[in-house]
Amino acid sequence: MTTLAESPPVGDLRYSEVEEDLRAAVRALLDRRAGWQDVLARTETAEPVDRALWRTLAAELGCAALPVAEELGGAGASWREAAVVAEELGRAVAPVPFLGCSVATALLLAVGERDLLAGLAGGDRIVALAVPAASAPGEPLVPLAVDADRISGDVPGVLDAAAADVLLVPAGGALYALDVTDPGVRVTPAVSLDMTRPIADVTLDAATGRRLATGAVVADAVAAAQRIGAVLLAAEQLGVARRCLDEAVAYLRDRHQFGRPLGSFQALKHRAADLAVLITQACAVARYAADCAATGASDLPVAAALAQAHLSPTALRAAQECLQLHGGIGFTWEYVVHLFLKRATSQAIVLGTADRHRAALGELLGVPGPEETS
């Protein structure tokens, strides 16, 4: 048993000036190109993912490959900056494939694949990891049949696959890159609870692709990439939670009933305060995870699980409170709140639910369950 006495160092949990500048740039772009009415309208079109916006984010702000070294076509920054971008994308529920592409980036970096990284960094190619969106880091992979590098089988509910050009498929102990134009690959977008981040079902029928890596490294690399995904997802959840609080507070200040602003009623004020307290904690947790990811700290598995275990219920509660505090308008299609409720709900399931992350923490920290011994 490890660890009860150990206390890993706590890095810088603040936002640096560079990070704040990046945030401002991303927010300005999103304000122009992804106001909530635009985001809502897009969900009912044939192209729910905004590829043009994604290209701008990638090409002009370097958001698609922040932690990738400059000689590989990236921005030479770190996952800390990527997390700040995730916060802003969450705040806007922007329909761009940032999360899926970030997981793919982490995976490609881990297996040392350069060609795909370049296309990804420029925003020209969208790359997604073909595992079910709901699976937690390190969870067993969907078994796929591999026969002479031809892959067959179903992977349901893949994150950011609907718009993907390339799928990264772990199968038969190897990792393959499959072009979606391959005749053996079929990607079927699902009607998704979270309209701003649709999932898609992947069906492979003797599909062929390039083998990128083989052996035990594959499973480890996939888990590590999912862990990066968990860290960024937490940042995105922080962005959603903050936006929900902001929307709720603005409404409570503005809306009058019984001859006074709603926010002057203590029952409502205290609920908003509770949310603010929770979000204060969530910020520290999300920053810690981002810093661990950026520095490759040995505490990263704990930090990532902690981040998911804390941020999932936080974002969900923020979105649910935001809806309730808006009353009837909060329940209408033509208003912003349901976009956040749906995003927070999917976030709580994507990359593992909070209880799975708590169970993972139990193992990592040496806090055994009833049947186990330590």
Rule CB under 8 A: which residues touch other proteins?
4-8, 10, 12-14, 245, 249, 252-253, 260-261, 263-266, 269-270, 272-274, 276-277, 280-285, 287-288, 306, 309-310, 355, 358-359, 361-362, 365, 367-370, 373-374
C-alpha dihedral, 331 to 336 to 338 to 344, nearest 10°: -150
Cβ atoms < 10 Å from Cβ of 358: 15
Residue 184 Cβ vs other proteins, minimum distance, rounded to whole Å: 43
CA 119, distance to chain mean position in Å, is: 21
Query: Judged by CB, which is closer to other proteins: 172, or 362?
Result: 362
Query: Judged by CB, which is closer to other proteins: 128, or 289?
Result: 289
Helix, strand, or coil (residue 330): helix
Q: What is the DSSP string of 157-192?
A: EEET-TT-SEEEEEETTEEEEEETTSTTEEEEEPP-
Residue 230 Cβ vs other proteins, minimum distance, rounded to whole Å: 14
- b/e per residue, 157-173, with b = 16+ CB within 10 A? bbbbbbbbebbbbbbbe
Residue 300 Cβ vs other proteins, minimum distance, rounded to whole Å: 14
Angle at 136 between CA 202 and CA 221, to 5 degrees: 80
C-alpha–C-alpha distance, residues 35 and 259, integer Å:
32
Q: How far is CA 84 from CA 41, 315, 337, in A?
A: 26, 16, 22
Q: How far is CA 215 from CA 142, 143, 170, 172, 180, in A?
A: 16, 15, 11, 9, 24
Query: Judged by CB, which is closer to other proteins: 204, or 252?
Result: 252
Query: Judged by CB, which is closer to other proteins: 72, or 365?
Result: 365
Tokens of 81: 């900056």
Residue 143 Cβ vs other proteins, minimum distance, rounded to whole Å: 28
Query: Judged by CB, which is closer to other proteins: 211, or 358?
Result: 358
Residue 49 Cβ vs other proteins, minimum distance, rounded to whole Å: 33
Query: Judged by CB, which is closer to other proteins: 146, or 268?
Result: 268
Residue 278 Cβ vs other proteins, minimum distance, rounded to whole Å: 8
Residue 170 Cβ vs other proteins, minimum distance, rounded to whole Å: 29
Query: Judged by CB, which is closer to other proteins: 327, or 368?
Result: 368
